[in-house]
Amino acid sequence: MSDLLGQVRRWLLDSTTSSSSRLGKKAPPPGKKASRRPQRLSSLLSVRSVAGEVFLLQLAVVVLLVTAAVVALVVQARSAAMSDARNRTLAAAGTFAESPGIVAALRSPRPSAVLQPSAEAARKIAGVDGINVYSLDGVTLTHSDPRQIGKRVVGPFSKAAAGRSFTETFEGSLGKSVVSVVPVKDSDGRVIAVVSSPVTVQNVQSMVNRQLPVVAGSAAAVLALSAGGTALVSRRLLRRTHGLGPAEMTRMYEHHDAVLHAVREGVLIVGGGGRLLLANDEARRLLDLPVDAEGRPVTDLGLEEGIAGPIASGRSATDELHMAADRLLAVNIRPTAPYGKAGTVVTLRDTTELRALSGRAEVARERLKLLYDAGVQVGTTLNVERTAEELAEVAVPRFADVVTVDLLDRVLRGEEPPEAVTEMRRTAVAGLQGDHPLSPVGELIRFAPTGPMAIGLAGGRAVLEADLRATHRWRAQNQGNALQILDRGIHSLIVVPLRARGVVLGMAGYWRERDSPPFDDEDVSFAEELTARAALSIDNARRYTHEHNMAVTLQRSLLPRGVPEQSAVEVAHRYLPARAGVGGDWFDVIALPGARVALVVGDVVGHGLHAAATMGRLRTAVYNFSTLDLPPDELLSHLDELVTHIDTDEQEWQGITGATCLCAIYDPVSGQVTAATAGHPGPALVRPDGTVSFPEVPVSPPLGLGAGLPMETVTVTVPEGSRLALFTDGLIESRDRDPDAGLAALRAALAGPARTPEETCTAVIDTMLDARPGDDVALLVARTRLLDPSRIAEWEVRPEPAAVSPVRNACARRLADWGLEDIAFTTELILSELITNAIRYGTEPIRVRLLHDRSLICEVSDGSSTSPHLRRAEATDEGGRGLFLVAQFAERWGTRYTARGKIIWSEQVLHDGAAPPAADLGEALLAGWADEGF
């Protein structure tokens, strides 16, 4: 019985789960509350609930009845089967014993041969296990097992031999069987043989077993139908009782009565359609409900709209205050789902004694919200004027009708405020339209000693003028327009100093007019809190302005203010700062020996003082490395080492410096540009016909990341009049444009002949950039020139002392052709010393070149990499004075290394009186010896 109940229970659980899945319901995730259906089914199968007890009791009765019926059916079927077996065997045996010809067959010489076929055929027709014939002496004449024929058996045949038929159960060769025995009589009535017909009990049982599935299936169907009907009835009872047990139901009714009658808080249950389902005594008293209120819509109960609407709305609410007649009720509303049908439960609490405090609480809530909004809306920018305007805008009209903000001029400029304050400038006004009597924005306001502003500054606190008509202290500050202020309806004022970090930044004035209530002491406290928060934002903006101004000043001092005078290129440049402030982009034009010029553009990642300072250090380093006359690749290698050193020294507090650089050296004699880049975009080349190309410059890692790897260069020969454009990545990259699109736009902006570098810069900036780009931009455009071949002279020098004089004479003639006779003597002296040193200490080939540019440039090259050094010769030295003389007579001199040796060069200024007087020349010659040598 318990097994059957367990199967029925599992069947009900499975059917319920499958029904839930067909309805699209999902099982609850782990850790969450189960759905209502599994809870009800669990309660239905639990004896803890009334519905569960009824269901299990009814189910047990049904199971007992069905089991009894099945047992009765099985017993009846077995009894009927045994009775049928007796009747069948008796009929089969009697029919065969009375069959015609059986007596003759028995008396024949071979009775078994005659009777065995007939007996087997009759057995099959009768459906018995055998029809056996025995002689009166026990010899088997026919048998279902032919092997038993002729054998003698001993059986209970005495009754049959006496002429009586009978049926009984016995153990035979076929097992336990039901057998009927009938005597065979001749015509005289004598018994001559016995016929038996057996049926084994197993066969009888198989007949019964074939009927058991039908019986069991019928029983199961009856059980299922009965259980289902019982479950439906119990489920309805479960819904009515909510799965409660007898004790719980008793307790529920006790609590129900307590809520209805004893609880001193109103309770309402409102259905989904807005109808009142339940109201306790306290709710009836608080709302003055009629007797028949339950079942009627809430809106028809005569309640005021202010409280009837929320109760019937079905929305959730927490401690909302509503008026009901002369009572102030705190209303809480919660949905009844999932604990009951759709609806809401409403609790009412009488808070009439709090009515006087509700207004003040609302004001406090509004003030807190205003402070929160001020924290969000004031200080959105780092602009001092805009921050003052935001303070005025956020306070109007939620706190004051008119707000004025006055700041010190030094605060507006980002400087530290002075200790003594006597005047401020009106910075922001909000709440006034058209003409008004208050000072306009931009006007300088001087404080009257007895005015509220001076008093507030002196005391460091807010000053309240609750009634402007009744007091005259504020008139000292507004003598000229006091009557106009009163005529406009302004009647109350609070003046609060703007103080942050111990210094005064300005003053905030809060004014109320017309129907607004006058300010009181609580308003003063709030005004001080609001002003203090805004003062921090204004001071932050002032500090940012100060830092920004310092960064701008630093950057302007570090960027080149102009380009040096040189003849190699015509230069124009642009620098645009970013919206975020000062950045680290820079450019430079550096004049090099040999009439060459270096064009440099670099970029330091980031903005602010650190980026500007780093930019200045890198620009200075580039200039210093250029004085060593290094090629672009070596210059960038030294710069890379410098940035690595900077990162090593500063990474603990500043982080890794990100910087890129492009260096291009143009030689106006050969027309060649040699360029190298460290992580920087390459230059753009605009040929004289207006076509634009971007020479492929091998890109090395950014500065500081080279890890000692060599830099690579590219050399390009450009026609005279070509334009080189060097730029930083801010020109071609932005959030809305990728580098490829930027290069395409730059190509279009640069294209076109007959443009000066200045016109090219203007066209590129107007085409590529907005008014204030997102990143700072540096642009350098240089138009190339070539040195006139007639101003270039070159000679090969044989490596022997005798070759000095012919070359010196040839140089003197070329100087005469150029009209430089006034410096011919000093030039010959310089060349003699340089050529003599090259012949004595250098190797072939030795060449001399003169360049007539803005200055006269003398170059002596040889194949040796040994560099001469300037020194002061001792009195006994025969040499060592040549470079000393060169340094005395030349404006500049130096050494430049090449791939095949070195070049010793000197420059002489071309102007009237360039040749030193004879006295000066003699003094220079004698300066090489000490006095002790004579």
Contact status, residue 721 vs residue 641, Cβ threshold 8 Å: no
| pLDDT at site 393 | 92
Q: What angle do CA 498, 499, 505 make, to 5 degrees?
A: 65
Q: Over 80: is that where the pLDDT of 275 sits?
A: yes
Give the range with max mean pLDDT: 90-94, 339-343, 347-351, 779-783. Answer: 779-783
End-to-end CA distance of the chain, in Å?
Answer: 144
- Taking 60 as the threshold, does the pLDDT of residue 876 lie above it? no
Chain CA centroid to CA 274, Å: 44
- Bridging pattern class, strands 327-335 and 659-667: unpaired
Q: pLDDT tens digits, residue range 98-131?
A: 888 888 888 888 888 888 888 888 888 877 878 8
Residue 651: strand, helix, or coil: coil
Q: Model confidence at 48, in pLDDT bands (50, 70, 90)?
A: low
Which helix (H) or strand (E) is 349 found in, with range? strand 343-350
Greater confidence, 648 or 333? Answer: 333
**If residue 71 lies in a helix (H) or strand (E), which one and from where to where?**
helix 50-97
Q: Residue 546: pLDDT band by 50, 70, 90 thresholds?
A: confident
Q: With a cut of 80, say whether residue 764 has pLDDT above it.
A: yes
755-773 as b/e: b if 16+ CB within 10 A = bebeebbebbbeebbeeeb
What pLDDT sits at residue 874? Answer: 52
Give the integer Cα–Cα distance in Å for 534 and 399.
Answer: 15
**Mean pLDDT on 512-516:** 90
Q: What is the mean pLDDT of residues 745-750?
A: 91
pLDDT given for residue 171 in this prediction: 67
Answer whether residue 574 shows pLDDT above 60. Answer: yes
pLDDT at 641: 87
Enter the tokens of residue 574. Answer: 């642009």
pLDDT, residue 676, reads: 94
User: CA nearest 280: which of 291, 301, 266?
Assistant: 266
Single-letter residue type at 824:
A
CA nearest 783: which of 759, 747, 749?
759
Residue 589 pLDDT > 90, yes or no? yes
Return the pLDDT at 707. Answer: 65
- 674 pLDDT band, cuts 50/70/90, is very high
DSSP 930: -
Label residue 682 by pLDDT band (50, 70, 90).
very high
DSSP line for 880-900:
--HHHHHHHHSSEEEEEEETT
Q: Which of 133, 144, 143, 145 is nearest to 106 (CA)?
A: 133
Dump pLDDT digits (tens) for 832-847.
888 888 888 888 899 9
Q: How far is CA 288 from CA 266, 305, 796, in A?
A: 11, 14, 125
The answer on pLDDT for 174 being more than 60 is: no
Distance CA 505, CA 534 (A): 11
CB 611 within 8 A of CB 582: yes
Other residues' Cβ atoms within 10 Å of the Cβ of residue 27: 12
Does residue 611 contact residue 663 with C-beta atoms inside 8 Å?
Answer: no
| pLDDT given for residue 406 in this prediction | 94
Q: What is the DSSP string of 173-241?
A: TTEEEEEEEEEEE-TTS-EEEEEEEEEEHHHHHHHHHHHHHHHHHHHHHHHHHHHHHHHHHHHHHHHHH
- CA dist., res. 742 & res. 769, Å (int): 10
- Average pLDDT, whole number, for the chain? 80
Alpha helices in 803-853 (DSSP H): 804-817, 824-841
Q: Is the pLDDT of residue 318 over 90?
A: no
Contact 492, 512 (CB under 8 A): yes
pLDDT in tens, 593-646: 888 999 999 988 877 777 778 888 888 889 888 888 889 999 999 888 888 887
Residue 907 has pLDDT above 50, yes or no: yes
Q: Tell me: pLDDT of 930 over 50.
A: no
* DSSP, res 934: -
pLDDT of 922 > 70? The answer is no
As a whole number, mean pLDDT of residues 212-218 equals: 74
SS3 (DSSP) at 684: strand
**Long-range residue pairs from 869-873, CB within 8 A, at least 24 positions apart, any chain:** 872/928, 873/928, 873/929
Q: What contacts 24+ positions apart, CB below 8 Å, involve 690-697? A: 690/751, 690/752, 690/753, 690/754, 691/751, 692/747, 692/750, 692/751, 694/743, 694/747, 697/662
**How high is the pLDDT of residue 570?**
93
pLDDT digits (tens, 9 = 90+) for 403-436: 999 999 999 988 888 888 888 999 999 988 777 8
Q: Please say if the pLDDT value at position 253 is more than 60.
A: yes
**Lowest-confidence range among 403-407, 570-574, 843-847, 918-922?**
918-922
Q: Which residues contact 515 (CB under 8 A, 6 or more apart)?
A: none
- The pLDDT value given to residue 799: 87
Distance in angstroms (rounded) separating the CA atoms of residues 42 and 781? 87
Whether 32 shows a pLDDT value over 60: the answer reads no
Task: Using alpha carbons, select from 855, 294, 302 the residue that is nearest to residue 591.
Answer: 855
Determine how β-strand 266-271 pairs with β-strand 276-279: antiparallel
CA distance 93 to 98: 9
Query: What is the C-alpha separation between 114 and 108, in angstroms, rounded?
Result: 8
Kindly tell me if the per-residue pLDDT of 305 is higher than 90.
no
3 state DSSP class of 347: strand
Distance between CA atoms of 390 and 662, rounded to whole angstroms? Answer: 45
407 three-class SS = strand
| Residues, the chain | 934
67: Cα separation from own chain's centroid? 68
- Higher pLDDT: 735 or 458? It is 458
Confidence of residue 26 (pLDDT cuts 50, 70, 90): very low
Name residues whose C-beta falls within 8 Å of residue 303's C-beta, 6 or more positions apart in sequence.
Answer: 287, 311, 324
| pLDDT more than 90, % of the chain | 21
**Position 31 pLDDT exceeds 70:** no
pLDDT surpasses 90 at 717: yes
Token duo for residue 465: 């003028």
- Omega within 30 of 0 (cis) for the link into 338: yes
Q: Determine contact, residues 49/43, Cβ cutoff 8 Å.
A: yes
Q: In the chain, how long is the greatest CA-to-CA distance?
A: 197
Instruction: Please state which of the ranges 205-214, 290-299, 676-685 shows the lowest mean pLDDT.
Output: 205-214
Read off the pLDDT band of 934 (50, 70, 90).
very low
Q: Which of 339, 343, 338 is nearest to 269 (CA)?
A: 343
Any idea which of 13-22, 320-329, 404-413, 471-480 has the lowest mean pLDDT?
13-22
Give the pLDDT of residue 548: 77
> How many Å apart are CA 357 and CA 369, to the nearest integer?
18
The conformational region for residue 795 under phi > 0 = left, psi -120 to 50 = alpha, else beta, is beta
- Token pair listed for 836: 């003599």
Question: Does the pLDDT of residue 33 top 60, yes or no?
Answer: no
